[in-house]
Structure 1
Amino acid sequence: MSEIKLWAFWRAVLAECLGLIILVFTGLSAAIGSRNNTFPDHELKMALAFGLATTTLSQCIGHVSGAHMNPAITLGLLATCQISVLRAFFYMVAQMLGAVAGSAIVYGVRPESIDSLGVNKLNGITPCQGFGFEFLLTLQLVLCVLTVTDKRRKVGQYAPLAYGLSVTVGHLAGIGYTGCGINPARSLGPALIQLSFDDHWVYWAGPLSAGVVAALLYNYLLAPREELFSEQTRALLCCGWEEETEPLLGEVKDVE
């Protein structure tokens, strides 16, 4: 509980909220702003909007919060004891609030002739198939983030670009089938504003389970660490495991 007393902790939480506001505002504006939603121009526009916004925001807030901007990434790090339960909880709450706020802004400034708000919906596939798409697309995203931010690889300044490209790839592959959620907070925002929750569980179950699987897969199979699980568990219950892990896209220092 000591980290909750630090101003740096609350700056990080605020950064996650602000990041989702801008990300969702940018992505949804691109999704509903096309005059003629023709394939492939519309899908490419959305993919680039979400991907480039992710890259930009990672540079802006990576050194403040680690630039998770996705509950699936936060949950994955929690599952492998790389952040504390407290930080994960407040990050997820901030991400959801930011996504709702960003969606509300788009809803308020959109032209009256546009009824859509970019709510993710299944397109010609079953919920189980949608779950599969969301799971695999989020799996590659979380694996990418964990890989490029592993300080043993020293990727450094290229991590935000890789993060953004992974988001772009996910959208190019999944927009035509699920709308490409790969981020429960992004899916929640417009769905809550428009009260449209058809098959909404797909956009939570798929990404969140993929986040956990990706983190466990990377940390215990693809690139295992030497730390004992007991040490990680202790760190999880205290203030987060920090010896071999840096914040996602920048160094976060807790100072009073």
Structure 2
Amino acid sequence: GHVNPAVTAALCILGKISFTHSLLYFIAQTLGAAFGTGIMYLVYSEAINAFDGGVRAISGPNATGIIFASFPRAYLSNTGAFIDQMAGTSLIGLFVAFCCEPKNQIPRNLMPALFGTIATTISMCCGLNMGSPVNPASDFGARIFASLIGYGTQLFTFHNYFFLVPLVAPIVGAIIGVYLYQFFIGFHIPKPAATVVNVNKDKCEMDQENGLRQVKECSQL
């Protein structure tokens, strides 16, 4: 399983899951993120109230909205943010395509560790401009929950509807990453050589005769 719609989009492009299943995955991933945000809010609600005095804001000295969702730095435009997220998740899409390529023969039991490593690495390296919302579900689901506990529609209208950037850009980036892999790498990897098994026909016939003889001897006992 996976909890990132960007990964879901990559798998859909690769033909691993259908478009309908991709939509269902996205809904489930977003609801899961919203539910998880709710649990963490219950844990830290008193700390949040102590900091902002119960005034839910996304900007200013006592803003707490950044706890729930990503926001751009003051210098960053929506276009720059879109490029930022698209570049980061294109690496995820490329890596997913690499791991799912049968010709690469990546062991399935290693894939979770590989996915976790690349996602963590990208999050650490590409988080300066706007945090690291390379997962559309975690950002959008948290925004939905936060809008219900006092932050309101400002989570969606802020910075000229910035919320669309972490929602759309990672999916676009993942799709681009898949096609980059296929164009520059995947199409050029030769198929593994077929394994030829030599069968000794005489030995096979002898084994069959011995087996029949043993069955007859047992039936006569």
- Aligned partner of 2:127: which letter? I
Given the alignment of the two structures, is residue 107 of structure 1 paired with residue 58 of structure 2, yes or no? no
Q: 1:190-205 maps to which residues of 2 (within 5 A)? A: 190-195=142-147, 196-197=155-156, 198=158, 199-205=162-168
Find the partner of 1:174 among 107, 110, 126.
126
Find the partner of 2:176 among 213, 226, 234.
213
Aligned to 1:83: 17
C-alpha distance in structure 2 between counterparts of 1:225 and 1:104, whole Å: 47
TM-score norm. by structure 1 comes to 0.57
Find the partner of 2:71 among 121, 135, 160.
121
Aligned to 2:28: 94
C-alpha distance in structure 2 between counterparts of 1:92 and 1:220, whole Å: 27
C-alpha distance in structure 2 between counterparts of 1:135 and 1:188, whole Å: 16
CA-CA distance at 1:90 after TM superposition: 1.3
- Aligned partner of 2:129: which letter? Y
Classify the secondary structure of the residue corresponding to 1:179.
coil
The gaps in structure 1 that reach 5 residues or longer are: 1-66, 227-256
Classify the secondary structure of the residue corresponding to 1:224.
helix
CA-CA distance at 1:220 after TM superposition: 4.1
- Aligned partner of 1:170: which letter? I
CA-CA distance at 1:148 after TM superposition: 2.2
C-alpha distance in structure 2 between counterparts of 1:97 and 1:150, whole Å: 30
- Aligned partner of 2:114: which letter? A
Cα pair 2:73 2:129 within 8 Å, conserved: yes
1:150-179 residue CA offsets vs partner (Å, 9 max, x unmatched): 232222133222211111112112222111
CA-CA distance at 1:181 after TM superposition: 0.7
Given the alignment of the two structures, is residue 161 of structure 1 paired with residue 113 of structure 2, yes or no? yes
C-alpha distance in structure 2 between counterparts of 1:162 and 1:81, whole Å: 20
Classify the secondary structure of the residue corresponding to 1:155.
coil
- Aligned partner of 1:159: which letter? M
Q: How many residues align?
A: 160
Classify the secondary structure of the residue corresponding to 1:108.
helix
Cα pair 2:3 2:29 within 8 Å, conserved: yes
CA-CA distance at 1:82 after TM superposition: 2.9
Given the alignment of the two structures, is residue 140 of structure 1 paired with residue 103 of structure 2, yes or no? no
Go from structure 1 to structure 2 and tell me whether the alpha carbon gap of 1:106 and 1:176 turns closer, same or farther (over 3 Å shift): same
C-alpha distance in structure 2 between counterparts of 1:95 and 1:134, whole Å: 19
Aligned to 2:199: none
CA-CA distance at 1:180 after TM superposition: 0.8
CA-CA distance at 1:216 after TM superposition: 2.1
CA-CA distance at 1:70 after TM superposition: 1.0
1:50-106 residue CA offsets vs partner (Å, 9 max, x unmatched): xxxxxxxxxxxxxxxxx2311111122223433212221211111111111111111
What fraction of aligned residue pairs are identical, expressed as a percent? 23
Q: CA RMSD in A?
A: 2.0
